[in-house]
């Protein structure tokens, strides 16, 4: 895949993210009624659907010729800028989750479900897990700045946080009769979760670049849509968390596309055992003697 095509894919994602954010803001202000239904003559939801389709189709078309990459050496640079951006996103996650814990929003929202004990426990677990996820991002960035191998556990912990977050949030979204209220938040949560899970594979030298980019680019765009939702709702914690996830997924997408690191080091081959003809025939002799 040529360098120009990689930049075009990033530019396409950026344009979809910005356009989606602006259109979603306008939709929330003018076309989406308080009960979640659409006002008569609404058309902006069609534009948002078309934008989402353009992103998915464009990503697939651009990613098919992408050269295979499987190792962390090929996609996670030791450069200062991307790792500082990842640290910045981690700081936003820490502040957002501390604010979420202090406000008690997650715990109070969990009681609307059919299993309030389980959902309340998960909701209480969510802010500390978010802080741990942010710390993992910081450790990951510091290791790369020092040109050290990042542990796969770092993105696996992030995946765990995003799984719990999806469960807690979906329990609340599921009570909303209108999918127009939460559709893009759900897509953003799913893409972030799957993107972080795929990112962990590179530290095992088992990464799948096309699949990983599909999810991280989708997360970048839909997190931008979701920031419009959280700004409209006015919850500072959700604004910070979604903006931080947007920054982290955008940074990882750029690293995956633009970094051309060295190939993974080959595993050392075992030296062939040196046996004398007499030793190699000893087993055969014993076998036939037993018979």
Q: Could you read off the pLDDT of 181-235 as tens digits, one per residue?
A: 899 999 999 999 999 999 999 999 999 999 999 999 999 999 999 999 999 877 8
Q: Which two tokens stand for residue 260?
A: 């051309």
Sign of the alpha-carbon dihedral angle for 272, 278, 283, 288: positive
Q: Tell me which residue has tokens 């957002």.
A: 96
Phi-psi region of 36 (alpha: psi -120 to 50; beta: other; left: phi over 0): left
* Arithmetic mean of pLDDT, 252-272: 74
Q: What is the gyration radius of the CA atoms in the chain, in angstroms?
A: 24
pLDDT > 70 in the chain, percent: 86
Look at residue 114 in the predicted model and tell me its pLDDT: 56
Judged against a pLDDT cut of 70, whether residue 108 lies above it is answered with no
* pTM of the model as a whole: 0.85
Q: Check if the beta carbon of residue 122 is closer than 8 Å to that of residue 164.
A: yes
**Top-confidence residue, 288 or 215:** 215
Question: Which secondary-structure segment (H or E) carries 178?
Answer: none
CA distance 237 to 230: 9
* Arithmetic mean of pLDDT, 163-192: 90
pLDDT band at 286 (very low <50, low <70, confident <90, very high): very low
Q: Check if the beta carbon of residue 227 is closer than 8 Å to that of residue 214.
A: no
Average pLDDT of the residues of the chain: 87
Look at residue 136 in the predicted model and tell me its pLDDT: 96
Judged against a pLDDT cut of 90, whether residue 111 lies above it is answered with no
Q: Check if the beta carbon of residue 75 is closer than 8 Å to that of residue 209.
A: yes
CA distance 127 to 135: 13
Judged against a pLDDT cut of 80, whether residue 83 lies above it is answered with yes
């Amino acid at each position: 895949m040529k360098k120009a095509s990689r930049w075009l894919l990033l530019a396409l994602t950026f344009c979809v993210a910005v356009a989606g954010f602006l259109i979603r803001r306008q939709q929330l202000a003018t076309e989406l009624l308080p009960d979640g239904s659409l006002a008569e003559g609404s058309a902006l939801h069609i534009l948002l659907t078309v934008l989402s389709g353009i992103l998915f189709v464009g990503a697939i078309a651009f990613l098919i010729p992408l050269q295979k990459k499987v190792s962390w050496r090929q996609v996670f640079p030791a450069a200062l800028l991307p790792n500082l951006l990842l640290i910045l996103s981690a700081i936003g996650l820490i502040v957002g989750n501390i604010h979420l814990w202090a406000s008690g929003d997650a715990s109070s929202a969990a009681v609307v479900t059919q299993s309030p004990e389980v959902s309340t426990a998960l909701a209480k677990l969510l802010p500390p897990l978010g802080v741990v996820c942010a710390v993992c991002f910081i450790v990951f960035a510091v290791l790369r700045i020092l040109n050290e191998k990042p542990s796969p556990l770092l993105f696996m912990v992030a995946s765990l946080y995003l799984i719990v977050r999806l469960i807690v949030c979906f329990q609340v979204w599921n009570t909303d009769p209108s999918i127009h209220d939460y559709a893009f938040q759900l897509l953003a949560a799913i893409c972030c979760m799957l993107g972080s899970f795929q990112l962990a594979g590179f530290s095992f030298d088992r990464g799948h670049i096309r699949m990983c980019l599909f999810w991280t680019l989708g997360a970048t765009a839909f997190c931008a849509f979701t920031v419009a939702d959280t700004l409209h709702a006015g919850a500072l914690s959700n604004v910070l968390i979604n903006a931080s996830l947007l920054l982290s997924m955008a940074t990882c997408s750029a690293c995956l596309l633009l970094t051309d690191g060295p190939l993974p080091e080959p595993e050392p081959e075992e030296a062939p055992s040196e046996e004398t003809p007499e030793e190699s025939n000893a087993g055969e002799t014993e076998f036939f003697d037993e018979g």
